[in-house]
Amino acid sequence: GPLEETAIPLFFGWFLCPSFQEKLKSMAKDFLKTLAGLEAFKKHLSDFTGEAEKEVDLEKFFQDKGMLHCTTKFCDYGKAEGSKEYAEQQSVKDRYGNMSELTLSTLFLTPRTLGARVSLSEEQLQLWPTGAEKEAVPDANLPIGSRAHVTLGCAEGVEPVQTGLDLLELVQLQQQGQEGEQVEDLELGSLTYYGKGMWVLSLKEPTVAPACFSSYYG
């Protein structure tokens, strides 16, 4: 009967510790504040507003999407392809509830999303679902785990799934050898503009985020 079946969650992922969530949120806030004050950013403001002279409050532009986490497998309660297999995978069962340290390497934003890129360790990659990158960008050969991120905010009407897609667009540009326009060295790291409102801050010192591997039912 249904009660003997394992319930498959909305998604699996690493959930950042509450105290670290606050730290990362304030780091992102500081970054947006700095960015908004830069002439280089103001020059490209129309990427965000659609109009040249309009002002934008970046902190309001990106809406909070709740508990900060790095999704591994989006299961949609079992409706997503491969979710049952993932939930039953030995590594998933073994590591469920375990703490892990996520390495955040960059902060990025586009006119749709604000996120932090996560560089997964070999061990963490064992929990990364096969095909996560191929599913998003079928024609490219993107490194396994390159979609890993924490969504920090989305523009109005944008779903968080977009953050990983925006990240993969950036990864593709970098893979194609596009270096972007090195804009400025900030206290947190170096800032690069990739066009079309895509900004990347490479953190001088990668930030280590304590997180728990678990799942969300909603």
List residues with catalytic annotation.
69, 149
> Distance from CA of residue 57 to its chain's centroid?
21
Q: How far is the CB of 141 from ligand 2AM (least distance, A)?
A: 19
Best CA proximity match to 206, nearest among 88, 102, 55, 92: 102
| Contact call for residue 11 and ligand 2AM (CB under 6 A) | yes
Neighbours of 77 (CB within 10 A): 13
**Is residue 74 close enough to count as binding ligand 2AM by CB under 6 A?**
yes
What is the C-alpha to C-alpha distance for residues 205 and 182, in angstroms, rounded to an integer? 18
Task: Look up residue 101 and give its two tokens.
Answer: 């340290």
Residue 146, interface with ligand 2AM (CB under 6 A)? Answer: no
Q: Is 160 in the site for ligand 2AM (CB under 6 A)?
A: yes
> According to CB under 6 A, which one of 153, 164, 189, 197 is a site residue for ligand 2AM?
164
| Candidate residues 7, 40, 125, 161; the one interacting with ligand 2AM per rule CB under 6 A | 161
To the nearest whole angstrom, how small is the minimum distance from the Cβ of residue 64 to ligand 2AM?
Answer: 12
Residue 11 or 194 with smaller CB distance to ligand 2AM = 11
Tell me which amino acid residue 158 is.
Answer: V
Which one of 21, 35, 71, 87 is in contact with ligand 2AM (CB under 6 A)?
A: 71
Q: How far apart are alpha carbons 155 and 99 in whole angstroms? A: 31
Q: Does 110 bind ligand 2AM (CB under 6 A)?
A: no
CB of 127 to ligand 2AM, least distance (A): 14
Tell me the C-alpha distance between 217 and 115, whole Å.
22
Which one, 10 or 173, has the nearer CB to ligand 2AM?
10
In degrees and rounded to multiples of 5, residue 205 shows phi and psi of -120, 110
Residue 126 identity (one-letter amino acid): Q
Q: Are 18 and 211 in contact (CB under 8 A)?
A: no
Contact set with ligand 2AM (CB under 6 A): 10-11, 71, 74, 151, 160-161, 163-164
